[in-house]
């Protein structure tokens, strides 16, 4: 692929992201059949000559391709975010290669969960951040996309990515991605819990159990009581436990193990009390109390 052409595509995507923050522009772009082009730009194969792989290309070209994918994800997330009218776009089937079809949410999860050889590079970290941003933009508040992602094992794959990132170590980049995955799962369970209370929807229940059990399993595996958990992850983790532990009945993780994790975090916070603002410290203690209350509501295993 010509480097100048890639640079032009990136420039156009930057401008498009700004334009599609306007609802009318986003609607017109979709009406003019621009959406399939965006989904295609997410796919690695779109940018590679036939009978080649990305490893056959120069490092400079690979970097530019990853940047195109990042900007395409960014545009998609901005276009659909917080706009219910556009919720179906995320699961709309479009032709991407020959007769093969895909959707934005499938392509984004593929990009986010891919095993990159240079996962610590700036361009890959940016790609992962933009991809999880777009995934969240599509599935938050979007029951159609939530059901689709559940049925296609998308949430299971995100849970595995959560494990993989944590196994790589708690560097600053992985911490941000871990936090975003846990926060997204927490937001979805909170939202779906309200739907269950109102409608007792069986699909919502299945999604909640899947998200919560994956979270609980991963938490037990990755955060044993004696393992040091970075402070920036602790708050996200405790909130996740408070929200999701009542629904972890399908998890292999023992409630007592999760309780030990919360106790270990509580101990850390108490030892650092003087380093917190008084109001913030009280918020942390309230979060701990909520987590313990949620764990008490789950049957001991």
Pair 108, 250 in one domain = no
The set of residues, in sequence order, having a beta carbon less than 8 Å from that of 214 and lying 6+ positions away, is: 155, 156, 159, 162, 185
Residue 125 in this model has a pLDDT that exceeds 80: yes
Choose one of 152, 181, 203: the last residue of a domain: 152
| Choice among 48-57, 199-208, 223-232, 248-257 with the minimum mean pLDDT | 223-232
* pLDDT band, residue 192 (cuts 50/70/90): confident
Which range is least confidently modeled, 13-22, 24-33, 198-207, 280-289?
198-207
pLDDT at 140 over 90: yes
Give the DSSP per-residue string, 209-224: HHHHHHHHHHHHHH--
- 148 in the same domain as 21: yes
Cα 74 to Cα 36, 179, 190, 231, distances in angstroms: 15, 19, 25, 28
Q: Which of 149, 133, 55 is nearest to 125 (CA)?
A: 133
Average pLDDT over residues 30-38: 94
Half-sphere exposure of 158 (CA within 13 A, CB side): 33
| Per-residue pLDDT band at 225 (split at 50, 70, 90) | low
Among 101, 132, 152, residue at a domain's last position: 152
pTM of the predicted model, to two decimals?
0.90
| Residue 174 binned pLDDT confidence (cut-offs 50, 70, 90) | confident
Distance from the Cα of residue 89 to its chain's centroid? 18
In this prediction, residue 301 carries a pLDDT of 43
Query: Which of the pair, 123 or 170, is modelled with greater confidence?
Result: 123
133 compared with 9, residue with greater pLDDT? 133
Q: Total domain count for the chain? A: 2
Pair 1, 148 in one domain: yes
Do 260 and 208 belong to one domain?
yes
Q: What is the CA radius of gyration of the chain?
A: 21
Q: Which residues, including other chains, have CB under 8 Å from residue 174's CB and lie 6 or more apart? A: 165, 166, 168
Token couple for 84: 């219910």
CATH number at residue 83: 1.25.10.10
**Of 127, 152, 177, which one is at a domain's C-terminal end?**
152
Rounded Cα gap, residues 286 and 277, in angstroms: 14
For the chain, helix (H) and strand (E) counts, in that order, are 13, 2
Domain assignment of residue 282, given as a range:
153-301
Instruction: Identify the pLDDT of residue 266.
Output: 93
Nearest Cα neighbor of 9 from 45, 37, 50 is 37
Per-residue confidence at 197, pLDDT binned at 50, 70, 90? low
Task: Indicate if the pLDDT at residue 1 is higher than 70.
Answer: no
Indicate if the pLDDT at residue 148 is higher than 90: yes
């Amino acid at each position: 692929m010509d480097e100048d052409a890639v640079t032009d595509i990136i420039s156009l995507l930057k401008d498009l992201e700004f334009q599609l923050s306007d609802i009318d522009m986003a609607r017109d772009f979709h009406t003019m059949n621009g959406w399939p082009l965006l989904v295609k730009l997410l796919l690695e194969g779109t940018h590679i000559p036939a009978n080649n792989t990305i490893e056959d290309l120069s490092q400079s070209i690979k970097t530019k391709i990853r940047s195109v994918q990042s900007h395409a994800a960014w545009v998609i997330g901005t276009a659909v975010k917080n706009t219910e009218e556009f919720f179906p776009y995320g699961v709309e089937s479009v032709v991407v290669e020959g007769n093969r079809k895909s959707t934005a949410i499938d392509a984004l999860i593929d990009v986010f969960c891919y095993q990159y050889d240079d996962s610590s590079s700036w361009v890959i970290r940016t790609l992962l951040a933009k991809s999880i941003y777009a995934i969240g933009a599509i599935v938050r508040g979007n029951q159609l996309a939530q059901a689709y992602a559940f049925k296609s094992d998308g949430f299971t794959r995100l849970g595995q990515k959560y494990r993989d990132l944590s196994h790589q170590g708690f560097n600053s980049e992985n911490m941000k991605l871990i936090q975003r995955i846990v926060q997204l799962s927490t937001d979805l369970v909170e939202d779906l819990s309200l739907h269950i209370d109102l409608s007792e929807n069986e699909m919502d229940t299945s999604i909640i159990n899947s998200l919560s059990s994956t979270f609980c399993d991963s938490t037990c595996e990755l955060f044993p009581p004696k393992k040091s958990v970075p402070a920036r992850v602790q708050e996200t983790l405790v909130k996740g436990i408070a929200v999701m532990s009542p629904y972890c009945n399908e998890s292999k993780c023992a409630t007592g193990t999760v309780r030990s994790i919360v106790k270990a975090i509580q101990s850390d916070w108490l030892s650092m009390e003087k380093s917190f603002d008084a109001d913030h410290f009280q918020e942390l203690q309230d979060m701990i109390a909520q987590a313990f209350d949620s764990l008490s509501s789950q049957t001991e295993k």
